Structure 1
Amino acid sequence: MNTPGNRDRITNRVPQTVAIKLQEAADLTGSTLNQFMVQAALEKAEKLIAREKIIYFSKNDAAMIINLLDKPAKPNAALVRAFERFKQREIENGNESRPAGANTPSAEV
């Protein structure tokens, strides 16, 4: 819920030519200059945020990822050696009581 206490003020200084163009666009949409600028900025922000946060996959890409999750490949020799080195470092650091990657000890059911 928007109450007067929940609002922020944003101000801009723009060249007169820009202000005239923005006002013309606002008039064409039937909104005030302020409403037009807020709506335009919000639309741009939502597009930018979506572009940066959402990953789009084709049907083939999605199927490949699901297949990899359902049937993971066996670890190769390099991965096995790396995991052994990791386990050794965990033992040396005193973290051998927890399974690798666990934040807290797991409770058995």
Structure 2
Amino acid sequence: MGTAAAKQDRIGARVPHEVYETLCRAAELTGATVNQFLVQAALKEAQEVIEREEVIRLSPRDWNWLLDLTENPPKPNAKLKAAMKRYRKARRDDAGTAFNWEP
């Protein structure tokens, strides 16, 4: 049984000559082709952006506070109960049922 080739996509960009020369120089200094250099640099930046936007970092003190709040939530107050009542009313589905949460 043969192995399927990995799907590859193409990315292209037009840049000013000065930018191209800088990229060529950096690629040469790292021993990579311009294409390899661009992909490595872009991938590294993409991973950093994704981590920065999707990962929440907490100090140990804040982590303990959040954990305690999650494990020992306060009793619902009047505003929360009213909000849940509005939510249940708004979330009626086609069968006429609603999310049934009781504090």
Identity %: 41
Distance of aligned partners of 1:35 and 1:83 in 2 relative to their CA distance in 1, 3 Å threshold: closer
Larger RCO (CA within 8 A; separation ≥ 6): 2
Following superposition, the deviation at residue 79 of structure 1 comes to 2.1
Structure 2, unpaired ranges of 5+ = none
* Residue correspondence of structure 1 range 34-53 to structure 2 within 5 A: 34-53=35-54
Counterparts of 1:65 and 1:8 in 2: how far apart (Å)? 42
Q: How many residues align?
A: 97
1:78 aligns with 2:79: yes
Deviations 1:73-98 (A, max 9, x none): 011122234444555x37x87316x6
1:95 equivalent in structure 2? 97
1:18 equivalent in structure 2? 19
User: What TM-score, normalized by structure 1, do the two folds share?
Assistant: 0.74
The amino acid across from 1:78 in the alignment is K
Off by >4 Å, runs of 4+ in structure 1: 84-87
Deviations 1:49-92 (A, max 9, x none): 111111111111100000001111011122234444555x37x8
Following superposition, the deviation at residue 99 of structure 1 comes to 2.8
1:107 equivalent in structure 2? none
Counterparts of 1:36 and 1:2 in 2: how far apart (Å)? 26
Deviations 1:16-55 (A, max 9, x none): 1001100100011011111000100000100001111111
1:31 aligns with 2:36: no
Please provide the CA RMSD for this pair: 2.7
1:68 equivalent in structure 2? 69
Structure 1, unpaired ranges of 5+ = 101-109
Counterparts of 1:2 and 1:46 in 2: how far apart (Å)? 27
